[in-house]
Each structure stands twice: as C-alpha cells, then as structure tokens.
A = this chain, B = another copy of it.
Amino acid sequence: MEKDPEPRRRTVGEVGERALIGLFTAAAGRFDDDVVIGSGDDAAVLRGDGDVVVSTDTAVAGRHFRFDWSSPEQIGARAVVQSAADIAAMGGSLSGLVVSIGCPPETPVDRLLALNEGLVAQTHRLGGRVLGGDLVSSPSVILTVTSLGYLAGLAPVTLAGAQPGDVLAVSGPLGGAAAGLAVLSAIENGADPTLAQRFSGLVERYRLPQPDLTQGPLAARADAHAMTDVSDGLVEEIITMAGASELGVDVTSAAVPRPDGLDALAAELGVDPVRWALTGGEDHELLAVFAPGGVPDGWTVVGAVTPGPGGPTVDSEPVTDLRGWQSFSEA
C-alpha cells in the first residue's frame, strides 16, 4: 500500500478505513493528562474523576441535517453540541466523546475530514477531547456521538425533583433553530433567496446552536431541582418534566425569550413567532426548575411548577395542539 499524496481528493472507499482513521487520529490532537489512552487502540481510557455521565445521540443525513444546508464542519460541530447538551442538562461538564461515523464508500474524503474537523474543534471548545471512534460503510451519512462527562462532586440534576411553587427558567432564547430551518425550507419552496442573508442570525442558530453549556454545572451548583435541554421543543420538555415530577408545569408564553429577528421573520412568513418559541426543537438551551429566588443570573423565568397532577400547560391551557418534534410520527 503506497502512501497517498492527495487523499482529500479521493473517496472514502478509495482511501480505506485504516488510512482515514489515521487522519482522524492526527486531527484529534494531543491528549491532556486526563486521557490515559486515546484514539487508535481498542478502547480509550479516561482518568477517573468520580461519577461518570454518559449520553448518546445520532444524526442522520436527510433527516437531522443536509449537506446542502450546512457545511460539513457545522454538521460535525452540531452533533457534538446535541450530545454534550445532555451532559450539561445533568449538571455535568464534558470530558470526552467517542464518535461513530457511517457513510457510503463514494463519500468524498474531504467532506468526511471537514466534518471531523468541526467535530474536534467543537469538542475542544467545550473542554473535552475526542477519544476514539468507529468508521463503517452505510447507505447514508450517519453520526453517533457518545459524550462522557464528570460532575465534580455535584449531585446529578434529573428530570424529576420539581416542587410546587418552583419557577421554570431557560438559559437562552428559544425558537431560533426552528426559524432558521423555516428560512431554508421557504427558499427551497420558492421564497426570495435573500431571506437567508437578511435572517442569517437565525439560519446560523439552525446550522450550529451555541447554547452556553457551562450553565449546566452552574445551575447544579445553584441547587436546580430539575433540568433538561430543549432538544424537542419547550412544550415536549415540559410534558416530560411534568410527568417525571407528577406535578403541573405552566409556561407563560410571552415570557419565553425569542432571538433577534424571529418576530420579523414570522411577520414576513405569516406565522406565529410564539409557536416557534414554544415548539421549535434543537436550540439545546437548558431548561431548569429552581426554588423561587434561586434563579441564577442570565436565566429567564418562563413559568412555574403547580400542584399536580395538573399536567403541562401553556398560559394555563392544555398543550394538546402544541406538540414538538419526534423522530417518528406518533400513532
């Protein structure tokens, strides 16, 4: 097997798994002292630091991302945010992750390397390391990121634990990812292509949500009673949270922070901006319940926990018509 001078110009099938894994390992960079063994052996070994938080998330081309709507770097980075947000939602900090990539053999190598570069850079930005992975042939591109985190002595913050009288707060604005996706969909369906430039901030929120995940451990230190990240839309999350605590959770729709440009875009497309904020998924901001008076700086109160089992409500009304996103349709 001769050394390939230009692997980036070839396909994954031409270059082969082993050569690609060598390129990936090089991109993962030097490991810190907390990684005993890194990428390239049977398994990675991470220095023990108390309890381990673990979560896995998969993104599939055509369903969770599109190469004509996002750059490969953004697709890789977004898969990291999606998985790391689950660590933050327990009050944890990212220590490292492993990634499995499936792709067709005809995938260009430079696309795969760019995806990996986005993934590695985002992992480093969040304070973690890429520990290893797997590369397989599959009918479409599919990315599974499994994140490991540490709690640094904090108790994990679960979905349950809300108390009547608690307040519900979010770490940032909601609906931006859904609005950005709506821009790209509208253009595909014939809308003015300048929409993407005029609302570029929202499109970027879809392509790469950038929640401040350090707010997860911060909320845990502030004694959050329950926490999750907003991956399926605020309404879906309060359904889950109310179910876990067997209490009611009521959201005040006007209080939910909306990102810049969202109201203007909604007016232009003739839709309700509040609906985006209530049901739009994939912002990955954190949603937590605190004792009254215990909400950390930077969080916005959006509702309250009510004596149960009243179930989840928005402006005191049931949420029946406000369901969010799921991977499969509901029966």
Contact = CB atoms under 8 A, between A and B. Distances in A.
Given A60-B102, A133-B56, A134-B58, A45 B156 contact: yes
13 contacts: A14-B329, A14-B331, A36-B51, A37-B158, A43-B147, A43-B149, A48-B48, A54-B148, A56-B99, A56-B100, A60-B136, A138-B142, A139-B139
A19 B329 CA distance: 11
Given A58-B144, A144-B100, A15 B331 contact: yes
Interface string A216-228: 0000000000011
B56 A98 contact: yes
A200 interface: no
A134 to B, nearest CB: 5
A120 interface: no
Contacts of A303: none
A181 interface: no
Specify how many copies of this chain sit in the oligomer: 2
A50 to B, nearest CB: 4
A327 interface: yes
A322 interface: no
A50 B48 contact: yes
Interface residues of A, number: 78
Interface of A: 1, 4, 10, 12-20, 36-37, 40-60, 63-64, 85-87, 89-90, 92, 96, 98-100, 102, 105, 131-140, 142, 144, 146-149, 151, 156, 158-159, 227-229, 326-331
Given A18-B330, A55-B132, 12 more contacts: A16-B330, A36-B51, A37-B158, A41-B158, A42-B87, A42-B159, A45-B52, A46-B51, A46-B52, A56-B144, A135-B328, A144-B146
A88 to B, nearest CB: 9
Contacts of A134: 56-58, 144
A140 B138 contact: yes
